[in-house]
Amino acid sequence: MRMNPNGKIFLFFIFFITLFMSFEMYGQIAMKISLPQKNYLMYEPVYIRIDMRNVSGHPIVFGEAKGLAGKLDFEIRSKETGNYVSLASAKSPSPRGVILQPGAIKSFNCNLTQYYKLFRKGQYTVRAIISHPKMPRAYRSNDLRFTITEGRKIWEAAVGLPEELTGKNNTVIPTRKYSILSYDNGTNVMYMLMIEDHKKVYCLRHLGYYFGNMLLPQCAVDNASRLHVVIAGSPKVFSYCVFDINGRLTSSEVRLKTTTSPRLAINKELGTVVLTGGRSALKDKDYEEIKDIPFIKGVFENEKRSLRTKESTLFDDMDDDNDTAGGKKK
């Protein structure tokens, strides 16, 4: 049954009005913010997307000159304390480089944890506020809620740094801790790798999804302080990954369950770790990378790509090997 042309026009009009009304309307700037997930692990980057529409009838340019230097602020309030979260340093997000033509909508993104002290577990509310010398007042977005959690510890091990990193003359060998954590991000229960010491988090990386207590991650540390992990991508497909003390992926393999399951074997005398059981899996024959092993490249990489836009000016690229390069503990 073909739809009447007038009906198509009406449906398009309704869609446009719905999209337009989803923005917070305050005169000259309409602004909306969104988050890719509801819950975050402590120290995990909190990327926020900002969509702005220019309804002033004039171009708005955010430049470096005094008359063009607009300002972007975020109000982040802790539900537990009722206080606003303070900036982590003198550096704050900047909309510099954004050009909004009349009626145009542009999207850009910001890592809130790079600018704000979001290092305590709890519930938070966030809104964006934009101002510009050519606008009579500041304009705000909608409010969003998100939660920061410590997660649940699945496995941990403290290791000494290899001699090539510390030298031979150290009286005390520095240590770091590997931890496998699980948490619900609001859509899926995820596994995360954290590498830390008492001063700093060196790595926080998505490893994969929870598939039940029968398919928990297998972990072992070898004589070079490298972490070996076997983690399920499905009941039959597994990923084997080796990480160094800084969280860099040094090797990986996709393994298929056969009459035996992939497992880690430790040579107690030599301190070596080898993978046994199953067989090497072939991409597109034994498994689909997108469906079964999305975490080979890192689950968060997919979220980063979904946030990117050509006009993005605030997106802070991260190391390809790590979801976060880490930072000092607060």
Residue-wise pLDDT tens digits, 86-127: 998 888 887 888 888 888 888 888 899 999 999 899 999 999
pLDDT, position 7: 55
Chain region(s) in the chain for CATH 2.60.40.2970: 24-149
Residue-wise pLDDT tens digits, 195-237: 999 889 999 998 989 999 999 999 999 999 999 999 998 899 9
CATH code, residues 24-149: 2.60.40.2970
Band of the pLDDT at 310, cuts 50, 70, 90?
A: very low
Mean pLDDT of 304-319: 40
User: In 10 A of CB 308, how many CB atoms?
Assistant: 15
pLDDT, position 326: 57
Q: Nearest CA to 281 among 309, 311, 252? A: 252
Q: Please check the confidence at residue 20 and state whether its pLDDT lies above 50.
A: no
Please state whether the predicted TM-score (pTM) of the whole model is above 0.85: no
Band of the pLDDT at 13, cuts 50, 70, 90?
A: very low
pLDDT, position 5: 54
Q: Please check the confidence at residue 293 and state whether its pLDDT lies above 80.
A: no
CA gyration radius for the chain? 24
Mean pLDDT of 82-89: 92
Considering only residues 178 and 100, tell me which one the structure prediction assigns the higher pLDDT.
Answer: 178
Q: Please check the confidence at residue 177 and state whether its pLDDT lies above 80.
A: yes
Cα–Cα dist 50/197, whole Å: 34
Residue-wise pLDDT tens digits, 150-175: 999 999 999 999 877 776 666 788 89
